[in-house]
Amino acid sequence: MNTDTTDFGFEKVSPGDKTRRVGQVFSSVASRYDLMNDLMSFGIHRLWKRFAVHLSGVRRGQSVLDVAGGTGDMSMLFHQRAGDDGLVLVTDINNDMLKEGRNKLYDKGIVRGMRYVQANAEQLPFQNNRFDCVNIAFGLRNVTDKQAALCSMYDKTKYGGCLIILEFSTIVLPQLKRLYDDYSLKLIPWLGKVVANDEASYRYLVESIRMHPDQETLKQMIEAAGYARVEYHNLTGGIVAIHRAWKI
């Protein structure tokens, strides 16, 4: 990774500036994050998340590390599988997002088997070889040093455990690309302005998708972190992809 600059949407900024500005984005959007997800994806994000959790194979009593867990959608689904006698540890670098997720799950009565820790994905402060599944959903593209985060997640995965990455990716259907570009680059920032009173944050979020590694490049990065049997599934024409890998 070039240590001098990194991507903040279409801008080139210093790594420290990216970390700071991404923090500002998510503090700004935290209270409307779930609503905007439903509006932007027409609710389809809920199906993507359910399929990702299904691919994880998590069973009752197992442990899950939900990195960049945000408002807790994935954590809630993992808890349904792991149960009260399992562990879902939610971590996010942004305290506003973490509080939104914790409050949402508390309100739903999901308390046992849950823990919340504010932490940086690049330096996860947990025991190595601890978790049956490590998950990051719609968070990796916002990490300043993605390779460092993948290596940190590898360290925390048990041998025999899996990594799940759900993230926006590269369109594989040419006929869909132009429609998606028009929608995401024009309409989503407008929705951000009207619904969340924050056009700039949603413009960054759309631009960050364009700067994220494509499916094959991310697969190679996951392998470089040490994982094996890396595979990916394109969903909705490649708008998102789920990467799954194993620590063996």
Domains of the chain are: 6-246 (3.40.50.150)
In 3D space, the residue among 104, 91, 81, 92 whose CA is nearest the CA of residue 34 turns out to be: 104
The pLDDT value given to residue 4: 82
Beta strands at 114-118 and 6-8: parallel, antiparallel or unpaired = unpaired
pLDDT of residue 7: 87
The CA-based angle 130-134-139, given to 5 degrees, is 140
Stretches in the chain below the pLDDT threshold 70: 1-3
The identity of residue 235, as a single letter, is L
Strand partners, 246: 162, 228
pLDDT value of position 3: 58
Instruction: Specify whether the CB–CB gap between 218 and 240 falls below 8 A.
Output: no
Q: What's the token pair of residue 11? A: 């801008």
SS3 69: coil
pLDDT attached to residue 247: 98
The predicted structure's pLDDT at residue 2: 45
Beta bridge partners of 162: 133, 246
| Run of H or E including 147 | helix 146-156
pLDDT of amino acid 9: 87
Helices 199-211, 15-29: inter-axial angle, 10-degree rounding:
130
- Residue ranges with strand state E in the chain: 6-8, 11-13, 63-67, 87-92, 114-118, 131-137, 157-168, 228-235, 240-246
Tokens of 122: 């690049």
* pLDDT at residue number 110: 95
